[in-house]
Amino acid sequence: MRKAQLWLGILISLVFMGLALRRLELGQVWLVLRTAHYVWIIPGVIVYFFGVWARTWRWHYLLRPMQRVPLSHLFPVVCIGYMGNNIYPARAGEVIRSYVLRRREGISMSASLATIIVERVFDGLVMLLFVFIALPFTPMPLWLRQIVVLSSALFFGALLVFLALAARPQRVRVVYDRWGSRLLPKRFRGPVGELLGRFLTGLSSLRRGRDVIMLFWTSVVIWLAETVKYWFVMHAFDFSVPFYVLMLMNGVVNLATTLPAAPGYVGTFDLPGIEVLATFGVPRDIAGAYTAVLHAALWLPITLLGAFYMWREQLHWTELERVTQGRDTATEALP
């Protein structure tokens, strides 16, 4: 199944990259890359890491009902997880992040994975907010309309489900006890029930309206910081668009990267980014060069820092490979 998922992601990336490249003059793209002012990447990276710190604080907030983990302990774990997202397919870095947290702090993987899924839901909602803010100023092509409709159904639906689970955990356990005994073999009922209990514990931060609002606004800060990086990198190139266009680009490319893709979101990041800028009159060759540099500036710093923290934690690639294949996660609750 994982091999099929990997090859599907590679196929989708190839299709997206083919669509992106077919309308670019690569000689002109190279000329734009040669004349760019790369010093603007430096403040962009600084702002980006402020966003990573904000992500760390948000995760700290989500984990509080289970255990108060200092930010200084969580920040390396977050970096390792995002490195994993960049080099493994299917966002396997999220599982790696939960594994490293269990290794360091003893927190159940199923509980911490629940908090990470909550993060992703709020990220998706903020991306939709960015898109909705820009829509009044945007000619809406069919592909963008489809992304908005599908993403809205996915993320709003997921939020409603998680809010319901968090609000009535006892009711969920009653339903599981009633139906689990009928549908699951006896040897799996206890372990699956334990996993469910830990997962519900991970949703604890959704039980109070104040916490939900806090998570939403923290997510807005995180993604505004990343959009500011888009803005800084834009100054390295000979074009200028309003900030709301960069918010739209950020929202669209990150919604598109929820699709299966090759490691590093190859293609699923690039094609939507180029298309958004082209919609607002940016020449495609400049848009292609800018998107490529932005993609690299988002990928490389966090990957290098995550690799450093991985070395400092004495983690090995074979260990992470086992985690991404599910061989270390399955032992948490299954007999």
Q: Tens of pLDDT along 10-69?
A: 999 999 999 999 999 999 999 999 999 999 999 999 999 999 999 999 999 999 989 999
- Helices in 64-168 by DSSP H: which ranges? 71-87, 93-105, 109-134, 142-167
* Prediction pTM value: 0.90
Question: CA 241, CA 144: separation in Å to the nearest integer?
Answer: 19
Q: What is the pLDDT of residue 328?
A: 64
Answer yes or no: are the C-beta atoms of 221 and 209 closer than 8 Å.
no
Distances in Å between the alpha carbon of 305 and those of 37, 85, 158, 291, 293? 24, 13, 32, 22, 19
Question: CA 61, CA 63: separation in Å to the nearest integer?
Answer: 5
Q: What is the pLDDT of residue 287?
A: 98
pLDDT of 335 strictly over 50: no
Domain extent at residue 327: 2-332
Total number of domains in the chain: 1
Q: At a CB cut-off of 8 Å and minimum separation 6, what does 183 contact?
A: none
According to DSSP, residue 63 is labeled H
Q: What is the pLDDT of residue 330?
A: 46
Question: CA 136, CA 213: separation in Å to the nearest integer?
Answer: 25
- The band of 326, judged by pLDDT with boundaries at 50, 70 and 90, is confident
